Structure 1
Amino acid sequence: MPSTAPVLVQPLRLAGPGDRRLVTSPLTAVHGWTPAPAPADGTRFTSPCRTAVLTVDGGVGSPAAWTVHGRHQLGVEPLWRASFSSGTPAEVVAAFTTTLAEDLHTQYYLHRVGTPASVLADRGWRPCDRSPRGFHDQLAPDGWALYRHRLGHQPYDDEVARLVPPTWSMLAGSPQQPSWCAEFTIGVPFHPLTQAAAAFSDPGPALRRADGIPARHLARVTVLRRPSVRSTSPPVPTEAGRPRLLPPSRPAPAPRRR
Structure 2
Amino acid sequence: MSPDPFKDLDPTQPVKVLPRHLAGPGPVDLHTVWPFPFDEDWSLHQPEEGTAYAISPCLRLWTSFTPEPEKRTKGTWTIGANRAPFGQTAWHITLDATTPVELLHDVHAELLDLHREDRNSDQDRLFDDPTAPHEGYAPLFARGWSHDIKTDGTQTFFAPDGLGAVRHQYSTSDVGTSAWRAWGGYPSEPYWQAHFSFGTPTTLIAAFTASLISTEPLRRTVQDVPFHTRRHLYVATAATKQPPSHSHAAPPPAPAPGRTR
TM-score bucket of the superposed structures, by smaller chain: 0.7 to 0.9
Tell me if 1:145 matches 2:164. yes
Q: Give the total of aligned pairs.
A: 223
Query: CA separation in 2, counterparts of 1:142 and 1:50?
Result: 42
> Once the two structures are aligned, what percentage of the paired residues are identical?
22
Asked if the contact 1:9–1:208 (Cα under 8 Å) also holds between the matched residues in 2, the reply is: yes
Q: 1:175 maps to which residue?
A: 187
Q: Which of residues 66, 79, 82 is equivalent to 2:77? A: 66
CA spacing shift, 1:195–1:155, aligned 2, 3 Å: same
Asked if the contact 1:38–1:55 (Cα under 8 Å) also holds between the matched residues in 2, the reply is: no
Q: Which of residues 6, 11, 14 is equivalent to 2:19? A: 11
Tell me if 1:122 matches 2:132. no
Moved more, 165-174 or 33-42: 33-42
Q: 1:222 maps to which residue?
A: 234
| Structure 2 runs not aligned, ≥5 long | 1-8, 241-255
Query: CA separation in 2, counterparts of 1:40 and 1:65?
Result: 14
RMSD: 3.1
Tell me if 1:94 matches 2:114. no
The one-letter amino acid paired with 2:22 is L
Query: CA separation in 1, counterparts of 2:219 and 2:196?
Result: 26
The one-letter amino acid paired with 1:11 is P
| Structure 1 runs not aligned, ≥5 long | 157-163, 229-243, 249-258
Query: CA separation in 1, counterparts of 2:143 and 2:164?
Result: 13
Asked if the contact 1:10–1:221 (Cα under 8 Å) also holds between the matched residues in 2, the reply is: yes
Asked if the contact 1:71–1:78 (Cα under 8 Å) also holds between the matched residues in 2, the reply is: yes
CA spacing shift, 1:223–1:64, aligned 2, 3 Å: farther
Query: CA separation in 1, counterparts of 2:145 and 2:40?
Result: 33
Moved more, 92-101 or 113-122: 113-122
The one-letter amino acid paired with 1:106 is E
Asked if the contact 1:40–1:57 (Cα under 8 Å) also holds between the matched residues in 2, the reply is: no
Q: 1:160 maps to which residue?
A: none
Query: CA separation in 2, counterparts of 1:192 and 1:54?
Result: 14
Which digits, 9 at most, give the CA deviation of each residue in 1:22-67, with x for residues without a partner? 212x12458743111479612011112211111101179x944200
Query: CA separation in 1, counterparts of 2:212 and 2:41?
Result: 26
Query: CA separation in 2, counterparts of 1:19 and 1:29?
Result: 21
Q: Which of residues 96, 106, 109 is equivalent to 1:85? A: 96
Query: CA separation in 2, counterparts of 1:214 and 1:77?
Result: 38
Asked if the contact 1:13–1:202 (Cα under 8 Å) also holds between the matched residues in 2, the reply is: no
Structure 1 residue 72 displacement after superposition: 1.3
